[in-house]
Structure 1
Amino acid sequence: MSLSYRQPGVVLTDHRFTVPLDHADPGGETIELYAREVVASDRAGQDQPWLVYLQGGPGFGANRFIGRQAWLDRALKDHRVLLLDQRGTGRSTPANRQTLPLRGGPGEQAAYLTHFRADSIVRDCESIRPRLTGGAPWTVLGQSFGGFCAVTYLSLAPQGLSAALVTGGLPSLDAHADDVYRAAYPRIERKVAAHYARYPQDVERARRIADHLLGHDVVLPNGHRLTVEAFQSLGILLGASDGSHRLHYLLEDAFVRTPGGTALSDAFQEEVQGLLSYAGHPLYALVHEAVYAQDDRPTDWAAERVRAEFPQFDAAKAVVGDAPVLFTGETVHPWMFDTDPALRPLRETAHLLAARTDWPPLYDPARLAANEVPVAAAVYHDDMYVDTGHSLRTARAIRGLRTWVTDEFEHDGLRTGAPRVLDRLLALTRDEV
């Protein structure tokens, strides 16, 4: 039975659905999905079209809004919104170090996790759509990885869509993970250079922290080993609108004098462990590179291998010389499954996924070329997380897709630019601009 309750300006309803783990085996094992329906209080009894939101990630549950925050306020003027916790996230059947051992050993866990990509998420949506809409199509709003899912939706089940809205998430239709990261590292380097141009004092601060980590074995309070590579991965912040400022304030509080000498401060360590831990979203690390896999080539830790082609990211060499320490970005590396206590039990499972070679295709170029669903996409100029060139090539490959290319926002434009971003995309799908 669905439970409804209220927050300021909205009525919320909890929904739970049972779906097949493997949609190719509908009579087999099942998992549970959770979704939160949101409707404006003054329209709770009205018949409104549905908009389903697909969160970025992979591995994150849907936003937990309070009332009509961010883009939700604009969406509720036209729609009844469904905030879906994609399989394995949020209040859906979880997939983490505590639950995955129920599957068996690493081989069984890896096989289970092959069902947690965009193709399965789209089939989940199609399974629950008739139960909510009575069979009517709905609009999908995909942020980042959610946009990848939207393109898969257009490939696998366009009949389920009345419109598709994508923010910062038009994927390459055919790039291997190697290609994705080969394009990513130069973008990351540009973001780091821009950060140091804004905060030149951070060049020496980052070098000092890196030098300290190269000479000390630092274990954070939660058991996370803070290696220099882990420190560099804090550069993931630089893809967000406020990320450069957050990184600056983090670096300025790094050290404190103690009776035993200079040490990394408790405040610095506390904030860093929150930023680095995958305890709340392990699927991000486990299937991150798998979201690009759709042929017989393994991903084989693409970000780690490709990084070797960019020696300027070697922090040890930078510290010995006079070069700035470069941060990295949205990349997952095998050493994370050694440094992060939330990931260590899943190390072998992750290696098996990285070696897998039988990934099915995620996109149908022929169907996308014949697309009839209204589609609009916000493409952020020099997006740190999703390559702009890849996105624009995909935009040209999807019939009727309209783009809004802007340098006004970073990857989180849907959050920081709401309601303007959503308003623009809706107008594009309706031919109002």
Structure 2
Amino acid sequence: MTTDFSYRQPGVVLTDHHFTVPLDHADPDGESIELYAREVVAGGKDPDTLPWLLYLEGGPGFGARRFVGRQAWLERALDEYRVLLLDQRGTGRSTPVSRQTLPLRGTPERQAAYLAHFRADSIVRDCEAVRPLLTGGAPWTVLGQSFGGFCATHYLSTAPEGLSAALITGGLPALDATADEVYRAAYARIERKNLAHYARYPMDVDRVRRIAAHLAETPTDLPGGHPLTVDAFRSLGILLGTGDGGHRLHYLLEDAFVPTPAGPALSDAFLEGVRAELSFAAHPLYALIHESIYAQDPAVPTAWAADRVLAEQPRFDAAATLAGDGPLLFTGESVHPWHFNTDPALVPLRETAELLAARTGWQPLYDPARLAANEVPVAAAVYHDDMYVDTAHSLRTARAIRGLRTWVTDEFEHDGVRAGGPRVLDRLLSLVRDEV
């Protein structure tokens, strides 16, 4: 472990840490990679007197959020914790994964083999390698948001001795559902989110149809050369799963067209706004390994599950919808082969993505027997009709983890820990401490 230096923001002291860990923890003498983590302590507090809280960001493939001062849930956490914001392997300032760096691995086959080490199992092994260096061996509290909650559930399955408590927000995974089952459940929720959006903003029905019809007839590129197809446009539905996402989508749609000498055209401002939402340039690992987080049968590849299951959903047929007069349904948190044909950040990685989709040998991520015997205090916020994580799957898992207490709420969407951070974290801490 190396520590760069400490510096200040309003109300906090930050310290940068770097760690070296094995790429494959089963081969500790083999290749290594670097991890980065940012420690956050409230100004005026002695860090050596505080217990540690480890934050695992959602994703997969996103670095820990870059907070300024005591934003969101940090406001509550810093009252009593020394917080570690870990950039999970392949993200942020940890050894990066992108179209620029992966060619260093060699062939697409070697790239895919490398990326097979970037799931929750490896992330938790990283945490356990880092923990003794920071805590002297004492267990710590983990806060897992979304995919970070999947990692926390794996933590409880494989290394519960490292945890004093587990707090999970929007991230209780199905213990045994296949990728196909996950997406079949997801598209039903995505349809409900679409209909709720159109009920709030009925004017968006015609706006969305007009934009999609224009794209079907007129090839259009986003800034940077990203073709904006109808399918790419529909993937803006990922916004519908966050607290303010539907409002942001509405405002993006309302100024889509401008008059030009050649007739109405999609505006530069609209296209730039769409590019900012859809580009994978900042998180390519998300697209590459997203479906693998659901892979747990060594004999079964994910095989582009989201795309295959979408083809089973006639209500999501864009061409049929445009030929009629109904509302066009957006898609959501799903990755498709066409992403690797259109996004400049992903196009060079198409063959690698195909190999990962065809890969077998994925190992189970959760141990139901160990979870049934769990002794770590656990609390989970389960968001009613969460677009990203199926509520029924989460509640079934909650019943399978001994002692887990749930807070089921429709006050927040999937990003509740950010939108209502101090209150959400305070509620979870009260639950694990039997204060409510």
TM-score w.r.t. the length of structure 2 is 0.99
> Is the CA contact (8 Å cut-off) linking 1:220 and 1:273 kept in structure 2?
yes
Counterpart position of 2:70: 68
SS of 1:317's partner is helix
Q: What are the residue-to-residue correspondences of 1:254-403 with 2, within 5 Å?
A: 254-295=256-297, 296-403=299-406
Counterpart position of 2:150: 148
Gapped regions of structure 2 (runs ≥ 5): none
Q: 1:314 to 1:66 in 2, by over 3 A?
A: same
Instruction: Measure, in 1, the Cα distance between the counterparts of 2:252 and 2:46.
Output: 44
Q: What are the residue-to-residue correspondences of 1:94-173 with 2, within 5 Å?
A: 94-173=96-175
Deviations 1:189-246 (A, max 9, x none): 0000000000000000000001001101111111111000000000000000001110
Gapped regions of structure 1 (runs ≥ 5): none
Instruction: Measure, in 2, the Cα distance between the counterparts of 1:253 and 1:432.
Output: 49
Counterpart position of 1:185: 187
> Is the CA contact (8 Å cut-off) linking 2:22 and 2:31 kept in structure 1?
yes
SS of 1:34's partner is strand
> Is the CA contact (8 Å cut-off) linking 2:316 and 2:328 kept in structure 1?
yes
AA aligned to 2:353 is A
2:210 corresponds to 1:208: yes
Counterpart position of 2:11: 9
- Cα distance, 1:46 vs structure 2: 4.1
Instruction: Measure, in 1, the Cα distance between the counterparts of 2:294 and 2:46.
Output: 40
Deviations 1:104-145 (A, max 9, x none): 010000000000000000000000000000000000000000
Counterpart position of 2:85: 83
**CA RMSD, Structure 1 to Structure 2 (Å):** 0.6
Q: 1:339 to 1:45 in 2, by over 3 A?
A: closer
- Cα distance, 1:314 vs structure 2: 1.3
Counterpart position of 2:240: 238
> Is the CA contact (8 Å cut-off) linking 1:369 and 1:399 kept in structure 2?
yes
AA aligned to 2:50 is Q
Instruction: Measure, in 2, the Cα distance between the counterparts of 1:10 and 1:274.
Output: 30
Instruction: Measure, in 2, the Cα distance between the counterparts of 1:229 and 1:84.
Output: 34
Counterpart position of 1:198: 200
- Cα distance, 1:78 vs structure 2: 1.2
AA aligned to 1:385 is Y
Deviations 1:324-383 (A, max 9, x none): 100011011010000100000000000000001100111111100000000000000000
> Is the CA contact (8 Å cut-off) linking 1:138 and 1:161 kept in structure 2?
yes
> Is the CA contact (8 Å cut-off) linking 2:41 and 2:47 kept in structure 1?
no
Residue of 395, 415, 419 corresponding to 2:422? 419
- Cα distance, 1:44 vs structure 2: 3.1
AA aligned to 1:121 is I
- Cα distance, 1:45 vs structure 2: 4.5
SS of 2:8's partner is strand
> Is the CA contact (8 Å cut-off) linking 2:235 and 2:332 kept in structure 1?
yes
% same residue: 77
Instruction: Measure, in 1, the Cα distance between the counterparts of 2:49 and 2:131.
Output: 15
SS of 2:71's partner is coil
Q: What are the residue-to-residue correspondences of 1:47-62 with 2, within 5 Å?
A: 47-62=49-64
AA aligned to 1:109 is Q
- Paired residues in the alignment total 433
Instruction: Measure, in 1, the Cα distance between the counterparts of 2:309 and 2:89.
Output: 30
> Is the CA contact (8 Å cut-off) linking 2:47 and 2:82 kept in structure 1?
no
SS of 1:96's partner is coil
Instruction: Measure, in 2, the Cα distance between the counterparts of 1:312 and 1:395.
Output: 32
- Cα distance, 1:431 vs structure 2: 0.6
> Is the CA contact (8 Å cut-off) linking 1:11 and 1:44 kept in structure 2?
no
TM-score w.r.t. the length of structure 1 is 0.99
Instruction: Measure, in 1, the Cα distance between the counterparts of 2:360 and 2:66.
Output: 36
AA aligned to 2:53 is L
Residue of 221, 224, 240 corresponding to 1:222? 224
